[in-house]
Chains A and B, each alone.
Chain A
Amino acid sequence: QQPVQSPQAVILREGEDAVINCSSSKALYSVHWYRQKHGEAPVFLMILLKGGEQKGHEKISASFNEKKQQSSLYLTASQLSYSGTYFCVGNAGNNRKLIWGLGTSLAVNP
C-alpha cells in the first residue's frame, strides 16, 4: 500500500514553518524522506527506523510514531532552497522494496 502524503502542495513565505505528513495503512519497517528539486534527481534526507523516533537535519526534522504508521517532516524557518517535492517512502518489511508516496510540492517564496 502506497503511503499517503498530505498536503499535496504547500506555499510558504521565507521563514515560515511547514509540516508534511505521511501515513500508512500498516506498520512500516522504516520510513525514508527524499527531496527532489525541479529538474533534479531525488536526494535522500533521512531515514527513521524506530517507533517514537525523532531525527533532525539542520532545520529539517522528522518523527515516526510509536505504531510506525505515521511520519511527519518538519521544516522550520523555511529557506528558498527548501523548495521542491518531498517524498515519503515506506519500507513495509520486504527489504528489497520501497513504496513511494505521491509527493508534496513545497514552494518557498521570498
Chain B
Amino acid sequence: DTAVSQTPKYLVTQMGNDKSIKCEQNLGHDTMYWYKQDSKKFLKIMFSYNNKELIINETVPNRFSPKSPDKAHLNLHINSLELGDSAVYFCASSQAGTGNTIYFGEGSWLTVV
C-alpha cells in the first residue's frame, strides 16, 4: 500500500552512463516532484509537474529530463552521469488546495563512480 514508490532504491553506476529512476503515486494527487538531497542534507527541488504539465523547472543541467506519462507517474532520466550527480533523489506528490502537504517516496540513492 505504498503511497509514493520509486525504483530503484540503490543505484551504483559509472560516469558517463545514462540511468532512469521511476516514480509512481497512488494517492490521486495532481502534483508530483523530484527533489535532490546532497551529502549536506540540503533538499533542492528539481522539477514539479501538475497534471502532467511541467510547472517548476529549477536550474538543473539539461542532462536531467523528467517525463510524466500520466499524473500518477513521474520518471527522471539522467544522461552522461557525473560524479556530482551522486545524491539521494526523492520523488514526492501533493494535492493542490490542501496546503500542498508533500508525501515523499523512500528515495533513490545514486552513486556515480
Of A11-19, A75-83, A89-97, which stretch is located at the interface?
A89-97
Q: Which residues B55-113 have CB closer than 8 A to chain A? A: 55-56, 90, 96-97, 99-107
Contact B42 A41 (CB under 8 A): no
Categorize the interface residue count of chain B. Answer: 20 to 34
Chain A positions within 8 Å of B55 at CB level: 96
Q: Which residues A96-110 have CB closer than 8 A to chain B? A: 96-98, 100, 102-103, 105
A interface list, Cβ under 8 A from B: 30, 32, 34, 36, 40-44, 47, 49, 85, 87, 89, 91, 95-98, 100, 102-103, 105
| B48 (CB) vs chain A CBs: closest residue | A96
Whole-angstrom distance between the Cβ of B100 and the nearest chain A Cβ = 6
The secondary-structure label for the interface of chain A is strand
A97 with B48: in contact, given A42-B43, A91-B100 (CB under 8 Å)? yes
Pick the residue among B56, B96, B99, B107 that contacts A49 (CB under 8 A): B99
